[in-house]
């Protein structure tokens, strides 16, 4: 049965999100609910719906960007990753056909290229590289391959603690002895102050989101975005904002600590507590996020995450000039 493409329109919002949550690899970043928090004028939305047998089949959250007099169709820039949202039973032949159609569509709409950022494979219910293969077979090339740190969660926190290197296990004990406690909190403003200071000192940059945007996202996804804080004498000394990307994976979107309290090892106890919570909620994987930027590795950050027992998986961006 032939597959066809149509451009997304606003009256398809609810059905779009229903399909994302029922898909093999959909995440909150693929939903219209998430993408809609951006002001309409920020991006030129050019999302696509692939239909089969007259029904929506595959989704592509995308935008049109213009640089150097060229227009490209790209995974939506307002999300950490995108690419095609596919059903769990996607056939190999369909994956090839989908990419062929995408290329034809882009050419017929006078677009000079396509760029997609794929979620790490572990975000899929049924592990599959069909779309990766189809993209490469049709002439896409890797623009970059970042590495994201993944920790596989066990059935009990003691089993994850056994994965910690001895230095991290000692750090958890030290934090407790120093009187550090961890709790889920709504103190986003207090955390944001720590985040701003930390990013300015370490990297000279600002957070991806303003505090207003972060609060708006948390209001849109109250069950999927949370903040854990590490406290000493009731003062927040570190925090992690988690995005529950789908029913399998929790992503640490923001991680930060107050440098003045680093010796208390609050971050170590913080992650231990988050893993314990995630295990209790039956999540399977904790994604620490990338430790490479444009394939330039931060070895210290890699080592820190590895000390919890994490290993690396690709977060790929592929592109094709037409």
Q: Are strands 311-321 and 141-152 parallel, antiparallel or unpaired?
A: antiparallel
Of 115, 105, 116, 15, the closest CA to residue 57 belongs to: 15
Q: Is residue 302 part of a domain?
A: no
Nearest C-alpha neighbor of 149 from the set 294, 287, 317: 287
Query: Is there a single domain that holds both residue 114 and residue 177?
Result: no
What CA–CA distance (Å, rounded) separates 256 from 200?
A: 12
pLDDT tens digits along 206-261: 788 889 999 999 999 999 999 999 999 999 999 999 999 999 999 999 999 998 89
d(Cα 203, Cα 256) in Å, to the nearest integer?
12
Asked whether residue 201 falls in the same domain as residue 81, the answer is no
Q: What is the mean pLDDT of residues 251-276?
A: 95
Number of domains, the chain: 2
First to last CA, the chain: 27
pTM above 0.75, yes or no: yes
Residue 201, pLDDT > 70, answer no
**pLDDT digits over 101-142, tens only?**
999 999 999 999 999 999 999 999 999 999 999 999 999 999
Residue ranges of the alpha helices (H) in 264-314? 266-280, 299-306
Closest CA to 63 of 36, 86, 101: 36
Tell whether 198 is covered by a domain. Answer: yes
Same domain, 140 and 12: yes
Give the pLDDT of residue 205: 73
pLDDT on residue 203: 64
Range of the domain at 194: 154-283
66: CB partners within 8 A, 6+ apart: 72
Using an 8 Å Cβ cutoff, are 269 and 175 in contact? yes
């Amino acid at each position: 049965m032939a597959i066809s493409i149509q451009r997304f329109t606003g009256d398809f919002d609810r059905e779009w999100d229903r399909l994302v949550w029922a898909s093999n690899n959909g995440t909150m970043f693929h939903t219209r609910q998430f993408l809609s928090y951006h002001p309409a004028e920020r991006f030129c939305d050019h999302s696509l719906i692939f239909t089969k047998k007259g029904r929506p089949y595959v989704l592509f959250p995308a935008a049109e960007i213009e640089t150097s007099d060229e227009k490209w169709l790209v995974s939506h820039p307002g999300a950490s990753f995108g690419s095609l949202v596919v059903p769990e039973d996607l056939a190999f032949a369909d994956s090839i056909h989908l990419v062929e159609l995408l290329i034809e569509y882009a050419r017929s709409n006078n677009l000079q290229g396509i760029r997609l950022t794929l979620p790490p494979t572990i975000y899929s219910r049924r592990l599959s590289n069909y779309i990766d293969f189809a993209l490469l077979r049709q002439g896409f090339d890797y623009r970059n391959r970042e590495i994201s740190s993944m920790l596989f969660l066990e059935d009990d926190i003691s089993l994850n603690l056994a994965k910690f290197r001895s230095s991290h296990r000692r750090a958890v004990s030290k934090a407790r002895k120093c009187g550090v406690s961890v709790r889920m909190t709504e103190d986003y403003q207090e955390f944001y102050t720590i985040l701003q200071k930390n990013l300015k000192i370490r990297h000279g940059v600002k957070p991806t989101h303003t505090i207003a945007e972060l609060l708006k996202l948390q209001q849109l996804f109250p069950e999927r975005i949370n903040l854990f804080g590490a406290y000493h004498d009731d003062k927040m000394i570190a925090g992690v904002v988690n995005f529950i990307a789908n029913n399998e994976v929790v992503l640490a979107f923001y991680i930060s600590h107050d440098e003045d309290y680093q010796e208390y090892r609050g971050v170590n106890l913080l992650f231990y507590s988050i893993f314990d919570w995630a295990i209790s909620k039956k999540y399977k994987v904790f994604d620490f996020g990338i430790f490479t930027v444009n394939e330039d590795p931060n070895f210290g950050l890699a080592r820190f995450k590895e000390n919890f027992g994490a290993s690396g998986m690709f977060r790929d961006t592929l592109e094709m000039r037409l």
